[in-house]
Amino acid sequence: MSKTPSPCIDVCKYKREGHCIGCAMTKAQKSLFKELKKNKHKEAFVEMLMTQQEHLGKFKGWRGAYEKKCRKKGARVPFDTV
């Protein structure tokens, strides 16, 4: 399996109190993800982000877009139930 891709889905519009309307990350979180080296840390970050999205709400399109990105890169989909 390939490395966990960035949760960014290339929307990059910061509203909602500094959170991107596409992925829910802040600019600081995007920078932090880029600094992560170990795949297990990247996977944990994505799990944290999914929890953050649940609390913030209104990020319904992210899940499908990120799943497509993971599959295209041959990476494990973190929320895949199969």
Each residue's pLDDT tens digit, 36-82: 999 999 999 999 999 999 888 778 899 999 999 999 999 988 876 54
Does residue 80 fall inside a structural domain?
no
Does residue 54 fall inside a structural domain?
yes
CA distances from 68 to 18, 31, 40, 61 (A): 25, 22, 20, 11
- The verdict on pTM exceeding 0.85 is yes
**In terms of residue numbers, what domain contains 61?**
14-73
Mean pLDDT computed over 17-23: 92
Does residue 34 fall inside a structural domain?
yes
Does residue 2 fall inside a structural domain?
no
Alpha carbon distance 59, 72 (integer Å): 21
Instruction: Single out the residue of 81, 82, 46, 42 nearest to residue 66, CA to CA.
Output: 46
Alpha carbon distance 66, 78 (integer Å): 10
